[in-house]
Amino acid sequence: MQINEQRQGAVIVLKPVGPLVQKDADQLKARAADVLRKSLGRFVIDASAIAYADSRGLEVLVELTEELGAGGQALKISAANETLREVLELTELTPLFEYHEDVNSAVRSFL
Amino acid sequence: MNQIGGQPHGDALGGRSTVRRRSAGGEAAPVWAALAITFVVVGSVAVTAWLTVRGHAKAMRDARAAQVENACQFVAETASPLLAAGDLTAVRRIVIDTARANALDELRIVLGDGGVLAAADPTAISSHQLPAQLPDISLASTVASDARTVASTRAVEIPGRGRARLEASGPATLPTGAMRDAQAAAGIVGAAGLVALMLVSRVLRRRLGGMAAIRASLLAFERGERSPEALTVDESLGAEARAWNELLSGRDADRRRQRAEHAAEALGAQRAPRSELDDACDALWQGLILLDESLRTKYANGAAAVFLRAKRDEVVGAEITRFVSDDRLVNAIRGVASGAIRNRLTVEVERTGDNGSGVLRFSVRPVRRDDSAAAMILIEDVTQQRVADAARNVFVAQASHELRTPLTNIRLYVEQLLDGEPTPDDRAQAINVISQESRRLERIVSDMLSVAEIEAGQLRIVEDDVRLDALFADLEADYRAQAEDKNLDLRFDLPPKLPVIQGDRDKIALALHNLIGNALKYTPAGGTVRVIVADDEQNLTVDVVDTGIGISPEDAERVFDKFYRAKDRRVAELTGTGLGLALAREVIRLHGGEVTVQSELDKGSTFTLSIPIHARAA
């Protein structure tokens, strides 16, 4: 899975491209875990290119937000499409994450 | 060790008890069935051998009886004429030879008065003469035999004198080779049968001993026995026994671990019952630490542990100096915790490395001693704030410079128009400069406003038809003069037909202006700037290729950041706000596209703008 990484100031933005499923989700987990450790949690998932997510993809997102929760934070997700939002609502996972309309507003939330 | 199926321990019944325990332990039906079958087979073979030997012995006895009778008949028939002739010597010789030849213990001719006329044992002869007349005795021939002895009696006719009695006896059977073989075979069969029985018994006991012991262990478990020592079996009973013991050991280890975990949970709950305040503190993204007078941590929330790069259990109860090493911070903590400093102190610490880099702000505050805590530390991650502040400072400096330059030029030319008597040419030149500088000011202010909109999240696109052919024609007209002034070769490579796309024309033009303007700005005289446009059915791609000063890899990562300007000395010599590329990327991203760069220092750069033909509002 292609995962683009961009730095905006001190915040790292990870943009996975494609469906968040199975091994691709594991790949994102590994990458995000590394970024989380190095940046003390200052990172955002740009979900604009995530078409949909399966159960493993949702698990990965939950694992990341739980890991951030140890430090009083939640995983910031920007530009999630309607499909992804619906899945999160159906699985009652919506309250676990912090949502932003675009990357800029997600990055500004670290100020 | 009290094991099932193994060596007994302290059993008063001794050896018999061992056997009984092993068997009572249930070396069950399979063992006994196998033993029974083996016993029947061996028994059958033994009985058959015995019957064969017995039958052979009877036949031997019958044959012996017949032999003795024949011997007696021979003697009787041979001795009769000799006795009639009075030849006792010959008769005695015949008796002796016949007895020897037939292995007779006794063979004798006895007269009616009991006198022994002839005998196998010469010393037994008591009648040395044959009487002239013998009493007539009626005597039937008889043969009698038992297991040991065969005896025969018959009359011996002595013509002219009467009768005598012939008596013979000897062993019932004679040792023969066949008999010996049969007996030996029977013995061998019997011995082999016993050995086979022993071996089968031993093998079966060994093979099934393990299963029997495990069965006994399970039965003990059913009766309520739970001690692992009582349920283990002797491992010498085989692989099954070893596997059983390993299973018990693993189960025991699991139970111990579970008990330990439960105990730890219970103990943890007793030590530190969580309250709403605990949950509230853990919901903070700022770190919160309470210290006592000796700098020992009394409380730390989750964020504090993350910032200190340790587990919460490690932090609580430990000295805070284990986790912070900055001298200023340590001194501040000591001062506040000891009461020597009564006001709040703030220390910012920059951390680098792969294990959490950034700028952390530590606010150390004194806490009333009645709470038995001496100091509180609030930790905040201010990294992004510092980056934003630095960029803003740079922007302010750059913007000031950018605004001052055109304003200065405008002021100079206005003063020139006002002070002197300018010629028409001077007036025209002044107005021209004022106009250019005013447009420049307008762009700078527009960029700053766009940045403000981006920061506020208010930058939006207005979708409409965008005619790209007209757009690129305008761009070429705008930059042709500038390129000529700088002796740059500016080319637009456009496809024969450009599509009409959906998007915000002004924003797209802004992005292209920034890319082309930068290319012309950072390309030395004599260089080349090419604008290459291509489209497939889905995306429009614009490559702005220059032979300019290029961008280092380090700067390339940040060149799209707001207010960022490359560290290159040559860039600092040229005016710029550090906003152009950030704006270009932002507006193109709002159209669902992207702006990227590939560059080589001192060789040139290629900025690529990609935008969907049917752009959508983000």
Max mean pLDDT among B16-30, B194-208, B537-551 falls in: B537-551
How confident is the model at residue B526, as a pLDDT?
93
Q: Report H helices in B486-603.
A: 505-521, 553-556, 569-572, 580-590
**Distance in Å, alpha carbon of B390 to nearest chain A alpha carbon:** 10
Instruction: Tell me the pLDDT of chain B averaged across its residues.
Output: 83
B354 contacts in A (CB within 8 Å)?
Answer: 37-38
B355 contacts in A (CB within 8 Å)?
Answer: 37-38
Burial of B515 (0-12, 13-18, 19+ CB in 10 A): buried
Res. A84: pLDDT tops 80: yes
The number of residues in chain A equals 111
Which is more confident, B454 or B266? B454
Q: Which of A9, A10, A37 has its CB closest to that of B355?
A: A37
Res. B4: pLDDT tops 50: no
- SS3 of residue B6 by DSSP: coil
Res. B22: pLDDT tops 50: no
The interface predicted TM-score of the complex, written ipTM, equals 0.87
**Distance in Å, alpha carbon of B9 to nearest chain A alpha carbon:** 57
How confident is the model at residue B23, as a pLDDT?
41
Res. B273: pLDDT tops 70: no
Residue B616 pLDDT grade (very low, low, confident, very high; cuts 50, 70, 90): very low
Res. B143: pLDDT tops 60: yes
Task: Report the share of chain B in percent with pLDDT over 70.
Answer: 87
Q: Which of A42, A104, A111 has its CB closest to that of B388?
A: A111
The number of residues in chain B equals 618
Task: For residues B187 and B533, give the distance between their C-alpha atoms in angstroms, rounded to a whole number.
Answer: 112
**Packing angle, helices B177-222 and B29-84, rounded to 10:** 160
How confident is the model at residue B9, as a pLDDT?
41
Task: For residues B344 and B352, give the distance between their C-alpha atoms in angstroms, rounded to a whole number.
Answer: 26
Res. B135: pLDDT tops 90: no
Which is more confident, A21 or B4? A21
Q: Answer yes or no: are the C-beta atoms of B190 and B44 closer than 8 Å.
A: no
Task: For residues A75 and A67, give the distance between their C-alpha atoms in angstroms, rounded to a whole number.
Answer: 9
How confident is the model at residue B334, as a pLDDT?
93
Region B119-131: what's the mean pLDDT?
A: 90
Res. B235: pLDDT tops 50: yes
Residue B26 pLDDT grade (very low, low, confident, very high; cuts 50, 70, 90): low
> What residue spans define the domains of chain A?
2-108
Residue B178 pLDDT grade (very low, low, confident, very high; cuts 50, 70, 90): low
Res. B260: pLDDT tops 90: no
Res. B375: pLDDT tops 80: yes
How confident is the model at residue B556, as a pLDDT?
86
Beta carbons of B306 and A71 less than 8 Å apart: yes
How confident is the model at residue B8, as a pLDDT?
41
Q: Answer yes or no: are the C-beta atoms of B157 and B165 closer than 8 Å.
A: no
* CATH annotation of A2-108: 3.30.750.24
How confident is the model at residue B18, as a pLDDT?
37
Max mean pLDDT among B1-15, B158-172, B552-566, B575-589 falls in: B158-172
**Distance in Å, alpha carbon of A103 to nearest chain B alpha carbon:** 10
Instruction: Kindly list the strands in the beta sheet with B528-535, ordered across the sheet, starting from the edge strand earlier in the chain.
Output: B489-493, B528-535, B539-546, B604-612, B594-600
Contacts of B447 (CB under 8 A, 6+ apart): B577, B579, B580, B583
In which residue are the tokens 């762009």 written?
A: B443
How confident is the model at residue B617, as a pLDDT?
42
Beta carbons of B284 and A79 less than 8 Å apart: no
pLDDT in tens, B291-315: 988 999 999 999 999 999 999 999 9
Rg for chain B, CA atoms, rounded = 65
As a whole number of angstroms, the longest Cα–Cα distance in chain A is: 35
Res. A14: pLDDT tops 90: yes
Within an 8 Å CB–CB cutoff, is residue B234 touching chain A? no
Region A31-38: what's the mean pLDDT?
A: 91
Region A52-58: what's the mean pLDDT?
A: 91
Strand partners, B158: B162
Q: In Å, how far are B120, B136, B158, B177 from B161, measured between CA atoms?
A: 23, 9, 6, 46
Q: Answer yes or no: are the C-beta atoms of B358 and B381 closer than 8 Å.
A: yes
What is the token pair recorded at B90? 């010959």
Within an 8 Å CB–CB cutoff, is residue B307 touching chain A? yes
Region B531-551: what's the mean pLDDT?
A: 92
Region B546-554: what's the mean pLDDT?
A: 92
pLDDT in tens, B42-76: 788 878 878 887 888 888 888 899 999 999 999 99
Which is more confident, A45 or B353? A45
Which helix (H) or strand (E) segment holds residue B154: the answer is: strand B149-158
Burial of B454 (0-12, 13-18, 19+ CB in 10 A): buried
A47 contacts in B (CB within 8 Å)?
Answer: none
Res. B262: pLDDT tops 90: no
Q: Answer yes or no: are the C-beta atoms of B615 and B549 closer than 8 Å.
A: no
Instruction: Kindly report which listed range (B248-262, B324-338, B432-446) carries the lowest average pLDDT score.
Output: B248-262
Q: What does the angle CA B330 – CA B331 – CA B333 come to, to the nearest 5 degrees?
A: 65
Task: For residues B197 and B550, give the distance between their C-alpha atoms in angstroms, rounded to a whole number.
Answer: 98
Region B105-114: what's the mean pLDDT?
A: 91
Region B149-161: what's the mean pLDDT?
A: 90
Beta carbons of A42 and B618 less than 8 Å apart: no
Task: For residues B412 and B409, give the distance between their C-alpha atoms in angstroms, rounded to a whole number.
Answer: 5
**Distance in Å, alpha carbon of A21 to nearest chain B alpha carbon:** 23
Q: Could you tell me how many CB contacts below 8 A there are between chain A and chain B?
A: 80
How confident is the model at residue B564, as a pLDDT?
75
Residue B370 pLDDT grade (very low, low, confident, very high; cuts 50, 70, 90): low
Strand partners, B145: B150
How confident is the model at residue B401, as a pLDDT?
77
How confident is the model at residue B604, as a pLDDT?
94
How confident is the model at residue B21, as a pLDDT?
38
Q: Which of A7, A40, A48 has its CB closest to that of B381?
A: A40
Q: Which of A5, A8, A13, A64 to mutate to test the interface with B (most CBs of B within 10 A)?
A: A8
Region B441-468: what's the mean pLDDT?
A: 79
A76 contacts in B (CB within 8 Å)?
Answer: none
pLDDT in tens, B329-367: 999 999 999 888 888 999 999 988 777 788 999 999 998
Beta carbons of B384 and A107 less than 8 Å apart: yes
Res. B324: pLDDT tops 90: yes
Domains of chain B: 65-177 (3.30.450.20), 276-381 (3.30.450.20), 460-618 (3.30.565.10)
**Distance in Å, alpha carbon of A105 to nearest chain B alpha carbon:** 6
Beta carbons of A71 and B303 less than 8 Å apart: yes
Task: For residues B482 and B383, give the distance between their C-alpha atoms in angstroms, rounded to a whole number.
Answer: 41
Beta carbons of B306 and A10 less than 8 Å apart: no
Beta carbons of A70 and B286 less than 8 Å apart: no
Which helix (H) or strand (E) segment holds residue A15: the answer is: strand A11-17
How confident is the model at residue B167, as a pLDDT?
93
Q: Which of A10, A71, A102 has its CB closest to that of B384?
A: A10
Res. B16: pLDDT tops 70: no
Beta carbons of A40 and B301 less than 8 Å apart: no
Beta carbons of A101 and B284 less than 8 Å apart: no
Q: Which of B285, B307, B457 has its CB closest to that of A105?
A: B457
Region B582-609: what's the mean pLDDT?
A: 90
Instruction: Kindly report which listed range (A10-24, B324-338, B438-452, B535-549) carries the lowest average pLDDT score.
Output: B438-452
Q: Which long-range contacts (CB under 8 A, 24 or more apart) does B279-283 make?
A: B282/A72, B283/A72
Region B190-206: what's the mean pLDDT?
A: 77
Task: For residues B149 and B147, give the distance between their C-alpha atoms in angstroms, rounded to a whole number.
Answer: 6
Which is more confident, B36 or B13? B36
A105 contacts in B (CB within 8 Å)?
Answer: 457
